[in-house]
Amino acid sequence: MDNVAKHILKDVTLEEIAPRVKERSPIDHWSSAVLLERAAYLKKLARFGDGSASETLREYPRHLAMLSFRSRDGDAETHRNFATILFVLAGAATLVTGGTLTHARTVGPGETRGDSIEGGDRLGLKCGDVAHVPAGLPHQLLVAGETTVTCLVIKVEEA
């Protein structure tokens, strides 16, 4: 991570926005205000990078919660063992699913990425929408023009 990104991330951490009590509660809670405030920092990171930034909020035994900001198209991807649930918190995007990844490459165990999807189905997503992408289904988020999208992403193991 470059120095600009480290400085921005150092500005506010999740613990500063939503401090934890000494005894860890079994419940994790992130209000929309907290998530959108954190997304503002991801937006700063995205400006200095490739137009996208994300962070893992919490990892659990069979799923994880992430926050994602995009001002550009995402990579096309397939997760062999993980479903992806997208909760659109702000903005809009087009979700492309199915079809075939172009220029597919393996990036990790069960993880394949590509430049785009050929022959997929398109679904417009806007603030408040939720989409479930099952494990093994190619998917890609497209962001048009000056539009941005912020999503809470839950990846759930389906193996």
Mean pLDDT of 65-79: 96
Classify residue 103 by its DSSP letter: T
User: What proportion of the chain, given as a percentage, has pLDDT over 90?
Assistant: 80
pLDDT tier, 49 (very low <50, low <70, confident <90, very high otherwise):
confident
User: CB of 17 within 8 A of CB of 34?
Assistant: yes
Range of the domain at 120: 3-157
- For the chain, the domain total comes to 1
* CATH of residue 119: 2.60.120.10
CB-CB neighbours of 32 under 10 Å? 12
Kindly state the average pLDDT of the residues 111-122: 96
As a whole number of angstroms, the distance between CA 65 and CA 149 comes to: 17
129: left (phi over 0), alpha (psi -120 to 50) or beta: beta
CA-to-CA dists, residue 70 to 4, 16, 81, 119, 126, angstroms: 18, 24, 24, 23, 13
Residues near 137 by Cβ (< 8 Å), separated by ≥ 6? 78, 97, 98
* pLDDT, tens digit (0-9, with 9 covering 90-100), for 123-145: 999 999 999 999 999 999 999 99
Q: Is the dihedral of CA 8, 5, 16, 31 positive or negative?
A: positive
The rounded distance, in Å, linking the Cα atoms of 53 and 83 is: 20
